[in-house]
Chain A
Amino acid sequence: MKLFKIRGGVHPDDRKKLSANKAIEPMPMPKLLRIPLQQHIGAPAEPVVRKGDKVLKGQLLADSKSVISAAVHAPTSGQIMAIGNYMAPHPSGLPIRTITLKPDHDDRWIELPAEVDPFTLTLDEIVKRVADAGIVGMGGATFPSAVKLGLRKRYELHTLVLNGAECEPYLTCDDRLMREQADDILDGIRIMMHALQVEQALIAIENNKPEALAAMREASSGFNKIKVINVPTRYPMGSEKHLVQTLTGKETPARALTADIGIVVHNVATAHAVHDAVRFGRPLISRVVTVSGGAIQQPRNLHVLIGTPVQDLLDYCGGFLEQPSHILSGGPMMGHPIPDTKVPVIKGFNGVIALTAKETAIRPPMPCIRCANCVTACPCGLVPLEMAARARNGDLQGAVDLGLMDCIACGSCAYVCPAHVPLVQYFNYAKGELTLRQRAEHKQAETKRLAEQRAVRIEHQKKAKREAMMRRRQEAARKKAAAQTTETEV
């Protein structure tokens, strides 16, 4: 298939060799599981169990109550120890609502529905099963998958793209999953194609994963609507819109979704979760996590229950070779530092990466020398150096005018910057500050609107009162006049 060139991008050392040849292995059962109620984009789930309850593996712990949200299930059988606040697996380390589950080591499943043939289900039933299983985008974006599978209702779709690019350095969890469970992933893909009613599926895999490519090719050999595409290794190939452009040559319009051009993108690990959920009714309670980085004793790919503390993963991999400079959830390009190793693994964690100071190569920033490497590297056609200069001086509108909102925060610019300017930091700051201001403005506008409405309402009441009074007076006057007339007549 003819591929199309994307603009910019970078070629970081992929360091995948550290863990690419390690087969996925299950983690031993942790002592305690901490299951945050918000592991996804959208509203947090609402607990449906209480402290002290005994739960079975796969039992619903918290339900999604709004359109954009995702349910949370028990990763194993055991007892609910607490429903409270616990440190979030987020750089802030702020407390979020978390259910603490003490495993009973029986690992007993809740009664699961009988295996069904997904192709006999109605499309809505499939979407409902995916929603009930609490599946979110497993590439790291954690957008509720059911919402994306329901896009058929609003868009004319023709293609499902499976993102197996895994363009972040170090990460090998999708690579391993494709090598080891290609048939299950393929089943998930067929189910998704059915749910979306699309004509074809394209599985995009970067060419640095020849084994995964071969495995997926073999698994898909009987299906002529499913193609495995070898895409060039170039960061950020896994960016949804850029992957779609590579495959189809079409750019997704600004501020729109890929669905606007008839395409939906799902991660390959999500397809695997869909297979489990729709065919067997098994909710999303575990995932594959790559533990890697120069500071890790034995890099591995682990099958981990949601809620397992990061420290357990590190211990299982033999601890540190040397004190890491950063421990990240996700890859080094777009991953986030975790605030503490006691935080739990959540649905979006594709890796726990412990990097040495040499690997992070963080240096004190120097002034920008306008070398324009960032302009060349930006896959979105922005001028990062100008945007950063505006953000730095607090000229947020200036940054927006230059395209701040079109920035996907991929970090290619900061990666190539010879002055080591923390460009992404500036953009994140500006975006956060803008959100705050917009929220403040919105609040102000709402307050104003409500105050005005109240004034109008009060004015209405007064007017009604006045009118009633007038009417009564007129009535009285009329009666009086009538009485007088009668008198004179008499």
Chain B
Amino acid sequence: MKITVPIIGGPYTHETSSINRLMLWVMLALLPVTAYGLYLFGWPAIFLFTVTVLTAIIAEALSLWIARRPIKPFLLDGSAVLTGWLLALTLPPWAPWWVGVVGSLLAIVIGKQVFGGLGQNLFNPAMVARVALLISFPLQLTTFVAPHPLFAAGSPGFMDSLHVTFGHAAQLDGISSATLLGHIRTQLSQGIDLSKALLNQPSLTQLLWGNTAGSMGETSALLILAGGLLLLARRIISWRIPVAMLATVAVLATIMHMLDPLRYPDAAYHLLSGSLMLGAFFIATDLVTSPVTGKGQLLYAVGCGLLIYVIRSWSGFPEGVAFAVLLMNALTPLIDYYIKPRVYGRTHRGEPIQYADEATSKKS
């Protein structure tokens, strides 16, 4: 019997893994915090989430079509959905629809497809969009609302919510509520120290569960952690990036808090507020844009943590996860260039290993 299959190098067996499976696991890990966010902020959040994800899919399909690449396999790989999904989670839940649309277009077209599509982008697409939106539309991107759970008294109904998302954003003025980080920043800039600024602010338990004002999927540290642990258990991400990133922020926060407790909130506030948790488990761990070696990942994560703390404490922005991740993304090629694993049988410098007794092993 002649065998006619094309000959291609082995192996002729494979782990049951694929890109779409990988993306599906990440989505599954995001499910708890997403469901909670959508519930917490009601119909407007659901509308914004849907619009953002749909735009991402359409933008991906159109880009592939223009580039004359096969649409089906790339659309089904799930990466576009995930990008839209992650972007939506970082948006203020009651932001107008066009924020999601512009954001997804930025993420998919500028952040990903312009670089060559899946696997080729230098920067995390969702963070490219997040930063571009923040700089272009600061008002919409910093207008947060207090939780308005679905079907709760005082929450907008379906029709009213359509108006929130697809109508005029100005109506939000009455019910807007600052995030904890935003509040601290404003208070400190007005010369009010933390002993007063933290009064009447969400408690640590509240931050842990997530019943506070904030971005759609960033409020519940606990649910994000649950999703992150799932990814760790499935070995889709390694512990290095989340652990090193959170530890860096925690260490810096603790030191600064000890130096000046009235100006610098302690580690718990830093870890549980803002985008840090989501960033550590789902954003900075993005496979495409993070380094490939263990040591490289540690360096990258420490860099992210350091930048986040610096931006949060001393810059004009209350939050810095997106900026920090983008800056470290830019360093990823450099990190991968300089930090490589040691090759078997070679020293770190790439020379063949020499044993002291080698002379005795080879007879002349």
Contact = CB atoms under 8 A, between A and B. Distances in A.
A336 B361 contact: no
Interface SS of chain B: helix, strand, loop or mixed? loop
A366 B77 contact: yes
Interface string B324-364: 00000000000010001111111000001111001011110
Contact of A360 (B7, B12, B120, B342): B12
A359 interface: yes
A370 B345 contact: no
B119 A370 contact: yes
B9 A424 contact: yes
Contacts of B287: 369-372
Contacts of B354: 253
Contacts of A250: 355
A251 B353 contact: yes
Interface in A335-359: 335-342, 355, 359
- Interface centre among A155, A338, A341, A381, by most B CB within 10 Å? A381
B19 interface: yes
Contact of A418 (B7, B19, B117): B19
B11 A334 contact: yes
B341 A363 contact: no
Q: For B1, B292, B344, which residue has the most chain A Cβ atoms within 10 angstroms?
A: B344
A169 B13 contact: yes
A83 interface: no
B2 A339 contact: yes
A369 B119 contact: yes
A114 interface: no
Contacts of A426: 9
Interface string B92-123: 00000000000000000000000001111000
Contact of A355 (B7, B13, B291): B13
A254 B353 contact: yes
Contact of A325 (B1, B5, B16, B344): B5
Given A154-B363, A241-B344, A369-B288, A415 B11 contact: yes
A252 B345 contact: yes
A252 B362 CA distance: 13
A77 to B, nearest CB: 29
A146 interface: no
Contacts of B362: 154-156, 260
Contact of B12 (A328, A341, A383): A328
A429 B1 CA distance: 27
B360 to A, nearest CB: 5
Contacts of B154: none
B292 A360 contact: no
Nearest to B340: A383
Contacts of A363: 14, 18
Interface string A263-295: 000000000000000000000000000000000
Interface string A241-268: 1100000001111111001111000000
A337 B3 contact: yes
Given A367-B117, A422-B9, A403 B343 contact: yes
A156 B361 contact: yes
B195 interface: no
A414 B17 CA distance: 11
A361 B16 CA distance: 8
Contacts of A333: 10-13
Nearest to B360: A156
Interface in A369-386: 369-373, 375, 378-383, 385-386
A315 to B, nearest CB: 11
Interface of B: 1-3, 5, 7-19, 21-22, 73, 77, 79, 117-120, 287-293, 336, 340-346, 352-355, 358, 360-363
Q: Which 4 A-B pairs have the closest CB atoms?
A: A425-B9, A411-B11, A254-B345, A372-B292
25 contacts: A7-B341, A154-B363, A156-B360, A241-B345, A254-B346, A261-B361, A326-B12, A337-B5, A337-B7, A361-B16, A366-B18, A366-B77, A367-B119, A369-B19, A369-B287, A369-B288, A371-B287, A372-B287, A372-B291, A372-B293, A380-B344, A411-B9, A414-B9, A418-B19, A429-B9
Given A383-B336, A406-B343, 16 more contacts: A91-B7, A241-B345, A260-B361, A260-B362, A261-B355, A262-B361, A326-B3, A332-B13, A335-B12, A337-B3, A367-B119, A375-B341, A383-B292, A414-B14, A418-B21, A424-B9
